[in-house]
Chains A and B, each alone.
Chain A
């Protein structure tokens, strides 16, 4: 994350400088506000931008933000309040028995790849992991996950094609208990948050876990694609109504998308971002850093 961000930093300042320079010339406050507006909206920050702009307008009038440094710091602070620190420790481990992690999200958001990355991350921290293929629906979903599991040398629990994913959850819970693994990571099929029956299926999966392992699933993660716009808020809300979400994985941050929608998500749901995905390999996975994220968000697209 850091490397990718550094290169953008110089330019961030330039862009904000530009906004402020307009203020001192023969241009007007509205024009500077518009420049700011563009920065925020094109980063997918969404409706919240409006609130920030109003605040900025007041501050401009007071004359407190009329230099680039002040504006940069002010924006940075305003935005940092919204993104929550992932906290410590990440994905707390249960004192006894397996810790169950449920991976959810809309179609194609990056769930399966994130499962692989997360497994790799846990392994590198000396944890034993079991994976379960809860996507019994999409063609070749199991093949995809089993390829990753072979590469990572981690056991995979799978069920019947088109079978009930709750049954896979049951088998996975039993296996996790008997093998006494540290973590069980459960991949689910992609679903749109508007599909009521599929959302109910998620609820069923988590109830099956809970019956077998107290408190499970202990961590339910929502995988959000960084290119997603304001729909991210709907996703977080509706998935959250179904399973108590504990955090967000922000995938595909290696493109030009800024992922600013997580600000809207943070404001509306108080969900912290835990990890970011930065590529297609298992190594392209990092702990979310709020400060760097905001810096990158304010920088122009590379």
Chain B
């Protein structure tokens, strides 16, 4: 989703690769590109400006620390500022909710309120074991009431609904839903509301009235992740009308660059609470700014990776292997090992998206499928043990033999070899980036204490790169 942003960040970071300290001018030059990339990722104009000037200030004022590379230092600055930009003020759910806990959803038309209401309902039911009541207060859009009712039925959540008609107004429905929730054995009420424009004074007054009546523990602004500059505009107006607890950013499963996520907190003070990541009711995630910032900077979503790896792979201490690999001593055996591990974890593309360096390969990720991996596996399996351990011996005739043996073309073998080399280099520089031997060990320890080791960083490097970057 954030590939393009990631690419321009890594381009900017590349400029800090040299040994010396950058001049003020050089820093500004590097950041100009970042600013442009932010704008092209739909980050709000003002926010892009503030962000870059903050980073510039930091990088210019900073002395180069001992034992730290320029890239490391710049990465650190970027990551901290990005995280700071997005950090929510509070947890996704209200801290000390009443009984029942009451949540209200509001937003523009088509933002995804109804789907989000159902998703949050399911979340509360599953994770907090709450008995949830949904209230269908969108009487405006045809079929909206039916939609929530059908979702409730499907998910086993009760719905308070009244068919739209004369004498039925949304505030009344909300009020009666609250009464039902209080009387029944419900411990959460989620109120869906009609989509409205922030410039529609009558409808904004209506939602204020609804808020006044039901006094929710938290009100969320539901926002489409594909929104452009207007996101901040509408969020500002909504925030003037209602006290929001947080934002539900919907449709994050597409390829929207998520610039809105970066902008809204800075301008309105409202942080993102939840991300909607698909059409299925379980596709809801708690927002984690550090994780997102890491992903943008292409450090890989290490935590996410660990979590997934944990579920699928039997534990084995791989610290030694990783140490060796990060020194650039990589073999085709490692490649195969890693590749099988990832395969076992399934959900290939999701995993790849989380791996460090994946942003640079974004074009490739699109085309990766299991048959591609099957081909790579066949090639490695056709190598002799010696070739696997020391791929540098692969000359022309060996490559021809391997291609024949694996039913592939020599060009496939060549590509794999080139990718292998590239990855070897990448691993080595990553090892350095984490501060050489000791830093690597520390990082690995930390990952382990969090429950497991990720699969090998930089794995996408095995895929035949189609273009240079």
B150 adjacent to chain A (CB < 8 Å): yes
A141 vs B279: C-alpha distance in the bound complex, in angstroms?
A: 14
B125 to nearest A CB, angstroms? 18
Q: Give which listed residue, B36, B108, B255, B257, contacts A194 with CB less than 8 A.
A: B255
Report A-chain residues with C-beta under 8 Å of the C-beta of B150: 139-140
Collect the chain B residues with CB atoms within 8 Å of residue A280's CB: 109, 140-141
Alpha-carbon separation in the docked complex, A235 to B251 (Å): 13
Judge if A210 is at the interface, Cβ distance under 8 Å. no
Decide if A234 touches B234 in the complex (CB within 8 Å): no
Q: Is A127 an interface residue (CB 8 A)?
A: no
Q: Which residues of B contact A124 (CB under 8 A)?
A: none
| Chain A residues closer than 8 Å to B45, beta-carbon distance | 37-38, 41-42
Interchain CB contact under 8 A, B142 and A139: no
A50 vs B259: C-alpha distance when bound (angstroms): 18
A254 touches B229 (CB 8 A): no
CA gap between A157 and B145 in the complex, in Å: 22
Chain A residues whose CB sits within 8 angstroms of the CB of B260 once the complex forms: 229
Complex: A44 Cα to B226 Cα, angstroms: 12
Q: Is B392 an interface residue (CB 8 A)?
A: no
A129 contacts chain B at the CB level, 8 A cutoff: no
Beta-carbon contact of A230 and B109 below 8 Å: no
Q: With a CB–CB cut-off of 8 A, which chain B residues contact A49?
A: 39
Q: Which residues of the other chain, B, contact A109 by a CB distance below 8 angstroms? A: 110
Selected from B40, B145, B197, the residue in CB contact (under 8 A) with A46 is: B40
Within the assembled complex, what's the spacing in Å between the Cα atoms of A107 and B225? Answer: 11
Pairwise interchain contact A227-B230, C-beta atoms closer than 8 A? yes
Say which size band chain B's interface belongs to.
Answer: 35 or more
* B233 and chain A: residue at smallest CB distance: A256
Count of A residues near B, CB < 8 Å? 49
A106 touches B251 (CB 8 A): yes
B254/A192 in contact, CB under 8 A: yes
**Other-chain contact of A110, B110, B154, B233, B259 (Cβ < 8 Å):** B110
Query: How far, in whole Å, are A260 and B230 apart by their CA atoms in the complex?
Result: 11
Q: Is the CB of A141 within 8 A of B41?
A: no
**Given A108-B110, A193-B254: A227 and B142 interface contact (C-beta under 8 Å):** no
A235: chain B residues within 8 A (beta carbon) = 226
A215, CB-defined interface residue at 8 Å:
no
Q: Is the CB of A230 within 8 A of B42?
A: yes
**Contact among B111, B140, B198, B255 with A234 in the assembled complex (CB-CB below 8 Å):** B255
User: Is residue B224 contacting chain A, with contact meaning CB distance below 8 A?
Assistant: yes
Q: Which residues of B contact A192 (CB under 8 A)?
A: 251, 253-255
Q: Among B142, B227, B253, which residue has its beta carbon within 8 angstroms of that of A143?
A: B142
Inter-chain contacts of B198 with A (CB < 8 A): 255-256
A139 contacts B253, C-beta separation under 8 Å: no
Q: Is A228 an interface residue (CB 8 A)?
A: yes
- How far is it, in angstroms, between the C-alpha of A47 and the C-alpha of B257 when the chains are bound? 14
Which of B142, B148, B149, B255 touches A231 (beta carbons < 8 Å)? B255
Nearest CB in chain B: distance from A151 CB, A: 8
Asked if B256 is an interface residue, CB under 8 A from chain A, the answer is yes
B254 close to A194 (CB less than 8 A): yes
Q: Nearest CB to that of B149 among chain A residues? A: A140
Task: Give the shortest distance, in Å, between B346 (CB) and chain A (any CB).
Answer: 17
- Is A302 at the interface (CB under 8 A from chain B)? yes
Q: How close is A136's CB to chain B, nearest CB, in angstroms?
A: 13
Which B residues touch A301, using CB under 8 A? 233
CB contacts under 8 Å to B, within A36-55, are: 37-38, 41-44, 46-47, 49-50
Query: In the bound complex, how far is the Cα of B253 from the Cα of A301, in angstroms?
Result: 30
Q: What residue of chain A has the Cβ atom nearest to residue B143's Cβ?
A: A144
Residues on the B chain within 8 Å of A120, using CB: none
Q: Which B residues are in CB contact (< 8 Å) with A225?
A: 110, 224, 226
B319 located at the interface, meaning its Cβ lies under 8 Å from any Cβ of chain A in the complex: no
Q: Is the beta-carbon distance between A144 and B142 smaller than 8 angstroms?
A: yes
Of listed B42, B254, B257, residue having the most chain A CB within 10 A:
B254
Tell me, in angstroms, the Cα distance from A255 to B203 when the chains sit together: 13
Cβ–Cβ < 8 Å partners of A227 in chain B: 108, 224, 227-228, 230-231, 234
Smallest distance from the beta carbon of B379 to chain A beta carbons, Å? 26
Minimum CB distance partner of A105 in chain B: B110
C-alpha gap A148/B36 in the complex (Å)? 44
Residues on A with C-beta less than 8 A from B40 are: 46-47, 230
Cβ of B234: which chain A residues have Cβ within 8 Å of it?
A: 227, 255-256
Q: In whole angstroms, how far apart are the Cα atoms of A17 and B199 in the complex?
A: 26
Kindly list chain A residues whose C-beta atoms are within 8 Å of the C-beta of B231. Answer: 227, 229
Give A14 Cβ to nearest chain B Cβ, in Å: 19
Q: Mark B131-147, 1 if CB is under 8 A from A, else 0.
A: 00000000011111111
- Find B112's partner among A47, A107, A193, A302 (CB 8 Å cutoff): A107
Q: Are B257 and A230 in contact (CB under 8 A)?
A: yes
Known: A138-B147, A225-B224. 12 other contacts (CB 8 A): A42-B229, A46-B39, A50-B36, A107-B112, A139-B147, A139-B154, A147-B143, A193-B255, A194-B253, A255-B108, A256-B199, A260-B228
18 contacts between A and B (CB under 8 A): A46-B39, A107-B251, A139-B147, A140-B144, A140-B145, A140-B149, A142-B143, A143-B143, A144-B142, A144-B146, A147-B142, A192-B251, A193-B255, A227-B227, A228-B226, A230-B257, A256-B230, A256-B233
Closest 10 pairs (CB-CB, A-B) = A229-B228, A144-B143, A108-B110, A229-B42, A147-B142, A140-B146, A140-B147, A257-B230, A139-B150, A143-B143
